[in-house]
Amino acid sequence: MKKLLLPIIIVFVIIAIFAGIFFSSYNGFVDGEENVNNAYAQVETQLQRRMDLIPNLVNTVKGFAAHEKEVLSNIADARSKLAGAGSPEDQAAANDELSGALSRLLVVVENYPDLKADANFRQLMDELAGTENRLSVARGDYNTVVAEYNKSVKRLPGSIVASIFGFDEKEYFKADAAAKDAPAVDFEGVGE
C-alpha cells in the first residue's frame, strides 16, 4: 500500500506546483494589466488638463493676435481630435498634432511682445509648461509599465498562460515622426 501511495503523492505535488505557477502567472497578468490601465489613466488625466488649459490660452492670444486665425483654428481642430480619440494610438497621433499646433502658436507669440508681458498669458504658459512636464512623466511611466507587462507576456511560463487567457502585448505611447522636428522660431524684427 505504501508503494502505491508514494506515486500518488508525487503526482499531487507536481500538480500543485504547476497549479501554483499557473495561478501566480495569471494573477501577475491581471495585476500587470491593471498597472498599465492605471498608468494610461494618468496620461489621459494630463491630456485632459492640457485640453482644459488650451481654450484659455487661445482666448488670451486672440485678444492680441486676432488675425492669426489659422493657427488658432488648427489648435482648436487638433484639440477636438484629441478629445475624440479612443485608442492609445489615436491619442498619440492627436497629441502629436496638438503639440505641433501649439509650437506654431508659440512662434506667433514671439511676434507680440505685449502679449508675452501680459500676466494672464504668462500664468497660462506656466501652467501649460507644467502640464507638458507632467504629461512627459506620465508617458514615461506608462511606457515603463507597458515594458514590464510585455516582458511578462513574452517570457516562459507566462507566455503560455498569456496565450491561453488572451493577455496580449500593450502598445507603447510613441511620438509621431513629425514630432521630432523642432518648430522654426523666427526672431527677425523682434526688439526693433
Give me the residue spans of the domains in the chain: 13-180
E strand residue ranges, the chain: none
Range ranked top by mean pLDDT from 96-100, 145-149, 161-165, 172-176: 145-149
Residue entry with cell 502640464 = 131
Side-chain half-sphere of 170: how many Cα atoms within 13 Å? Answer: 24
Using alpha carbons only, give the angle 106, 86, 84 rounded to the nearest 5 degrees.
55
Higher pLDDT: 177 or 192? It is 177
pLDDT of residue 91: 81
Task: Give residue 9's identity as a one-letter amino acid code.
Answer: I
Contact 15, 22 (CB under 8 A): no
Pick the closest to residue 67 from 112, 123, 114 (CA basis).
Answer: 112
The predicted-structure confidence for 36-69, as pLDDT tens digits, reads as follows 888 888 888 888 887 777 777 767 666 665 545 6
pLDDT of residue 162: 85
Q: Is the pLDDT of residue 189 over 50?
A: no
Mean of the per-residue pLDDT values for the chain?
Answer: 76
pLDDT of residue 5: 84
Residue 93 — pLDDT band, cuts 50, 70, 90? confident
What is the spatial distance between Cα 93 and Cα 170, in angstroms, rounded to a whole number? 17
Q: What is the CATH number of domain 13-180?
A: 1.20.1440.20
Q: Kindly state the cell numbers that stand for 132.
A: 507638458
Residue 36 neighbours by CB under 8 Å, 6+ apart? 142, 145, 146, 149, 170
pLDDT of residue 190: 36
Residue 27 neighbours by CB under 8 Å, 6+ apart? none
Query: What percent of the chain stands above pLDDT 70?
Result: 75
Distance of CA 176 to the CA centre of its chain: 12
Average pLDDT over residues 145-152: 90
